[in-house]
Amino acid sequence: MPTQTNQQKNIFVFKNYIVILRYYNIEIMGATKTDHFTDQQNQIATIAKALGHPARIAIIEHLLKVNSCICNDIVDELPLAQSTVSQHLKELKNAGLIKGSIEGNSICYCIDEKTIDVLKEYFSNISSIVINQKCC
């Protein structure tokens, strides 16, 4: 077995050190912070995150006006590229805010009423509590 110089050993040790750090970080972050919250809290946070971009709000508002449409209709309405609109639609769909049905070669998108009901109930509960509170 050939012997290694100090410089070669340092590089070898440095590479192992990097691997150890990456492994260590994975272990620390292995249990996500979302595990510490209720399913409802995680669901509301996911929905809120999806609504946290003005383009997605514009897409929701457009779908409210037209009831349902395909991606190209939204592209014609917004100053965004088709790929960008598709990504925003994906995020909204993953959050459950919209649903899509296949019509020919396209997907027709519309608002998912179930998720809107979840938001309505959540904010209704908050509203009734805040109205009854006497805060500062």
Q: How many CA atoms lie within 13 A of 78 on its CB side?
A: 25
CA gap 17, 25 in Å, rounded: 12
* 114, 96 contact by CB (below 8 A): yes
Pair of tokens at residue 50: 């999806």
Q: How would residue 83 be classed by pLDDT, with cut points 50, 70 and 90?
A: very high
On the question of pLDDT at 9 being above 50, the answer is no
Q: How would residue 104 be classed by pLDDT, with cut points 50, 70 and 90?
A: confident
**Domain definitions of the chain by residue range:** 37-130
Q: What is the mean pLDDT of the chain?
A: 82
Owner of token pair 């995150």 = 49
Mean pLDDT score, 88-100:
96
Q: Does domain 37-130 have CATH number 1.10.10.10?
A: yes
Q: What is the pLDDT of residue 31?
A: 55
The pTM score is 0.72
Summarised one tens digit per residue, pLDDT across range 23-75 is 444 444 445 677 889 999 999 999 999 999 999 999 999 999 998 889 999 99
